[in-house]
Structure 1
């Protein structure tokens, strides 16, 4: 009974340790989000376009080309990616530092010029029940729109000129270079439950000043689901942990039983002491049996061997010499005859 109680306590301790590890903060995975209302888990990585790995053949479901959206009645077509930069190599992006060209997640081309409409952002968010991905810090907004906005402000300033000269100067002040508005992108992701339907991206609209662009994407990845736990320990690891717990329960339980119930001391406190004490002799006897069997299987030496000159060997060699001499004399006599 005492051994069973100790085993149960060890198993409970291990379970509590495993639960404590599971409750630790897990690292956040890029391009994922959990809904604050439904607690569903959304992972957009399956629809992210990535360049194929060198030396590895791409899978048929891998996306290696950026997503395209036609402008239709709008004079531009768009290329974008989800959470990561576009796979196309961009050069001479208008109004963007060269170091940031590889970080563009959405762009369009007009008259041979490349315009960024947003830098990479791997953190989708929820606006109510809407899953949204937002890119910012693109190319500067269209200068013509700025001029239209500036002329409107100048007309208002002319009306207020007679009342306050100071307000007139403030309205005519030009914005600083670093204060320019930049293009941005908003992508609304909608669930597509048809398993045979592919992901689609559609251009919706652009703001009047051509600073913000709105897109709508339909995909199975936007339907959400249950987060797949990454198994930290393999089947062999789980078996090893169970075996370790069993061994600990055996030794600790046996130790407490031998000490408290059988009142043993020293090495006799080990469970099954007589077995462990005799296991050394068992291995020794097994080794002797195996080595003797192997010695009998070895082939015996053949051919000449060295003869000792002492003792019986010397007497035997003397008799052999006498026999040889007698044979020689006999042959000589036969030859003379």
Structure 2
């Protein structure tokens, strides 16, 4: 029995390890995140372009946020590119315009991207965060303008034979000009590599108000270089919920069924082994607690017989003595026959 007890203790650990392995190999869906206390699913908050296959309850317009003291208003989508396409985005390649997830328009009509779309949610403690990156250029490097080296000097020479030979001072000036040009090229290459781009960090808050069907976006602020923008979004889908069953993973019901099956197999196998080897039992007595199982089987059989008998009494043609003919003559004959039969049975019992 020690072996059986050890196996019973080890079975839950084995089942838990199998469940963890199956969960780890299952990839999370886009715009979803799993936290310690629950599951987040923001896919209903994604605005979709109107068309075939789009539900009537789905949002088909971009989200808008008032910039207040920032002078510009913002347009964005959650876990996707903006529904209304944008063009001529400052500092962004043309093939990336269709991936812009958030932007604003300046007073001059220039479109500035504050991040490309992303469907990867992050959980930081009890916070749910979505980040858009790789927007339009920003920071001091994007506004830097350089002039030609002030110390550069150019000689004005003629082609006649009386042209003076270059002096040592002119040669030094030419060397300084070449060095300045080389340094400027290096600075340009460095600026290209170190270009900072705008980004947007979106923090989600749980909204328990059932009247708010769609999410609401609010602008929080930006850094002094106008590179990082911060928003908070209130949504009922940002509340913790139970994680749905994923194909390829084991759900809570599967884990319970697996543990129950292992426990039953160990119980019967260990009990039969013990009864056969230690108690030298044979037949049905090899089952553990066979008297208990025999009593349960007997009770089930009795209830089955009682139910079958009750159902048989309700069937037509099985009324017994309660079924009598409507004819008075036949009724009297039946009663006389019944009385003679009863008297005959009584005589037999007396003998």
TM value normalised by structure 1? 0.52
- After superposition, the Cα gap between the structure-2 partners of 1:34 and 1:262, relative to the gap in structure 1 and judged at 3 Å, is closer
Deviations 1:169-224 (A, max 9, x none): 3553373596483632232527567747763321634655x6x2423314367988
SS at match of 2:55: coil
Tell me how far apart the structure 1 counterparts of residues 262 and 93 of structure 2 sit (CA, whole Å). Answer: 58
Unaligned runs of 5+ in 1: 273-337
Query: In 1, distance between residues paired with 2:126 and 2:53?
Result: 42
In structure 2, the residue matched to 1:183 is: 197
1:68-96 deviation line (CA, Å, top 9, x unaligned): 123345554321234x2224152545354
Structure 2, unaligned runs of 5 or more: 154-172, 289-351
Residue 106 of structure 1 deviates from its aligned partner by 1.3
SS of residue in 1 equivalent to 2:14: helix
- For 1:312, the equivalent position in structure 2 comes to none
Root mean square deviation of aligned Cα: 5.2
- Paired residues of 2:42 and 2:237 also in contact (CA < 8 A): no
Separation in 1, partners of 2:68, 2:137: 23
Q: Distance in 2 between matches of 1:47 and 1:159?
A: 63
Q: Which structure has the higher relative contact order (CA within 8 Å, separation 6+)? A: 2
Where does 1:1-337 land on structure 2 (aligned, <5 Å)?
2=1, 8-24=5-21, 26=24, 29=28, 43=40, 45=42, 48-51=45-48, 55=53, 57-59=55-57, 63-72=59-68, 74=70, 76-82=72-78, 84-90=79-85, 92-94=87-89, 95-97=91-93, 99-109=95-105, 114-121=111-118, 122-124=120-122, 133-140=130-137, 148-151=143-146, 154=147, 158=150, 168-170=180-182, 172-173=184-185, 175-176=188-189, 179=193, 181=195, 183-187=197-201, 189=203, 191=205, 195=209, 199-202=216-219, 204-205=221-222, 207-208=224-225, 212-219=227-234, 228=242, 230=244, 232-233=250-251, 235=253, 238-239=256-257, 242-243=260-261, 245-262=263-280, 271=287
In structure 2, relative to structure 1, the CA distance for the partners of 1:172 and 1:118 (3 Å cut) is same
When residues 217 and 44 of structure 1 are mapped into structure 2, their CA distance, relative to the original with a 3 A threshold, is: farther
- Kept after mapping to 1: 8 A contact 2:117/2:132: yes
Distance change >3 Å, CA 55–CA 238, structure 1 → 2? farther
Cα distance in structure 2, aligned partners of 1:130 and 1:271: 55
The verdict on how the C-alpha distance between 1:220 and 1:112 changes in structure 2, with shifts beyond 3 A counting, is: closer
Residue 293 of structure 1 corresponds to none
With over 3 angstroms needed to count, the CA separation of the structure-2 counterparts of 1:136 and 1:195, relative to structure 1, is: same
CA distance in 2, matches of 1:223, 1:91: 28
2:188 is paired with a residue of what secondary structure?
coil
Given that 2:81 and 2:116 are in contact with CA atoms closer than 8 Å, whether structure 1 keeps it comes out as: no
Q: Tell me how many residue pairs correspond in the alignment.
A: 254
